Amino acid sequence: MRCALFGDQIEAYEEVFKPSGQYEISKAPITAVDDQYKFNLEELPYQMTVGHQTIIQRLNPESGPIEPKYQPLSTIPRSPDPNGRYDVVGVVLFVEEAPRMIPNARGRDSPVREVSLTDTSQDHAMTISTWNDLTGKPCDAMNNWAEKFNVVGFTALKTRHTRGFTLNTTMSTRIIMNPKGARVDMLREWVKLYQHVLLDRQERILNVRYPSAEKKVVTIAELRSKKAANATPDEVAWIRVTIPEVDLQRVNAYIGCLGCGKWIHLALGTRFPCISCKKADTVAVHKYSVNTLP
Ligand SMILES: [Zn+2]
């Protein structure tokens, strides 16, 4: 039976289907097709259409569905690997209330919803951005995160290196609400024994998500010790400094690169690649500079 892909789907499914792979495909409508549209007469008189609801799962030729190979969050390579796919299981600490629309790699708006996941391998949580259909029912199922520490599995995630180190779902990702295995049992036991550790990590996430009016003042040394691996994306910190003899007649306000502060002639909020600091994805924000008196 033929299954034709159109437009965006061609690229999107390239990573899902591999020659000679075996798949279980569900929710793909099958319709009758006229003889005149067949490439050869051996083809069945049907065609399958892949849509938003379609679920494609790779099978092991002998034993059915491939079991997830859950790995600790700390063992996911921190260097970019466009082909790497990772299965993780962890405790859900936070799920964004509703999906947001943001531009995807192909420039179209897609729904995205962030989930924070943690495990015993590192002392902070990791952000997983769920995309498209996964932002609906699968995320809603984890919406009781405030009352319950659910242990949930995610398969076939890829890594993302803009705005810190995060994980993204792919076309092959499954969100498994009732995962099984030794690693899962260990995490469930951990949840029972170390509620205070999980509450503490959850609080850190909530402080970033819902910042209080009170400013968090840190030292420059504390800021320096922040690495992509131990910072929470979008975390805001304040430093208290004294600028001696500031020349208040010469305050320059302008729009510049979020990363390096380079002046840029773009509208506020525009995303762009910065030629000055070489960041592939940065954003135009308000910047200002002051001088000290000569
Ligand atoms: Zn820059």
> For tokens 């970019």, what's the residue?
80
User: How far does the centroid of ligand 1 lie from the alpha carbon of residue 241, in Å?
Assistant: 24
SS3 call for 218: strand
Is the separation of the CB atoms in 88 and 71 below 8 Å?
yes
How is residue 263 annotated by DSSP? Answer: B
User: How far does the centroid of ligand 1 lie from the alpha carbon of residue 294, in Å?
Assistant: 28
Tokens of 97: 């209330």
User: How far does the centroid of ligand 1 lie from the alpha carbon of residue 48, in Å?
Assistant: 47
Burial of residue 231 (CB within 10 Å: 0-12, 13-18, 19+) is middle
User: How far does the centroid of ligand 1 lie from the alpha carbon of residue 287, in Å?
Assistant: 12
Q: Name, in order, each residue with C-beta under 8 angstroms of 236's C-beta and a sequence gap of 6 or more.
A: 208, 211, 216
User: How far does the centroid of ligand 1 lie from the alpha carbon of residue 115, in Å?
Assistant: 28
CATH H-level superfamily of 73-209: Nucleic acid-binding proteins (2.40.50.140)
Tokens of 233: 């994306």
CATH 2.40.50.140 occupies which residues in the chain? 73-209
The identity of residue 127, as a single letter, is T
Quick one: which of 147, 141, 140, 154 has its CA closest to 111? 140
User: How far does the centroid of ligand 1 lie from the alpha carbon of residue 264, in Å?
Assistant: 9
Blockwise average pLDDT, block size 10, the chain, 294 residues: 82 77 86 78 82 79 76 90 90 94 77 95 92 91 91 94 84 91 96 94 87 78 74 74 78 88 90 86 87 72
User: How far does the centroid of ligand 1 lie from the alpha carbon of residue 129, in Å?
Assistant: 25
User: How far does the centroid of ligand 1 lie from the alpha carbon of residue 256, in Å?
Assistant: 8
pLDDT of residue 167: 94
> For tokens 């999980």, what's the residue?
198
Between CA 216 and CA 223 the distance in angstroms is 12
User: How far does the centroid of ligand 1 lie from the alpha carbon of residue 20, in Å?
Assistant: 45
